[in-house]
Amino acid sequence: MRRSVQQYQNSTMNNIEQADPHALISLIMQHILGNLAAAKGAIDRKEIEGKNKMLTKVIGLIGELQNSLDMEKGGELSTNLYDLYGYMIRQVNQANLKNTTDPLTEVTMLIAEIKSGWDGIPQDIRQQYNR
């Protein structure tokens, strides 16, 4: 078991090191979704420590998405995303404080929607911004 975890960590690190900025953002969103699912399970099982750990990761990852925004070039879209990410962080905090999964379901839907649009950006457009 321990060896497979090490192999996963190594392959994840290799993916991150080789990822272009677009793929990196997609990977962050995927990790947010995974941690949200794990946190919901922890809440259902009343595992407070696990819930706190997962939600702390989610907040950090959403913060990374906020920090990755180019506020100058992105204009109104970047401002709107920044505010939406802030809303998501507040929802995650509410879920943590109230021990409820409803806000996490909403954040999951929002991240999934953003990820779907992000992943749908055509390759030629992505390459223009990776230079």
Tokens of 88: 């998501």
pTM metric for this prediction: 0.82
> What is the identity of the amino acid at 131?
R
Cβ partners under 8 Å of residue 44, min gap 6: 101
Tell me how crowded residue 42 is: count the other CB atoms within 10 A of its CB.
Answer: 20
- Match 């060896």 to its residue by tokens: 3
For residue 3, what pLDDT is reported?
47
Q: How many whole angstroms separate alpha carbon 24 and alpha carbon 30?
A: 10
Instruction: Specify the DSSP class assigned to residue 99.
Output: T
Rg (CA), the chain: 16
For residue 1, what pLDDT is reported?
39
For residue 4, what pLDDT is reported?
41
Residue 63's alpha-carbon distances to 31, 67, 125, 126, in angstroms, are: 13, 6, 25, 22
Any idea where the domains of the chain sit in the sequence? 24-120
Could you tell me how many residues make up the chain?
131
**CATH match for 24-120 among 1.20.1250.20, 1.25.40.10, 3.20.20.80, 1.20.120.340:** 1.20.120.340
E strand or H helix at 43, and its extent? helix 21-44
**Which residues of the chain register pLDDT less than 70?**
1-19, 128-131
Q: How many whole angstroms separate alpha carbon 54 and alpha carbon 36?
A: 7
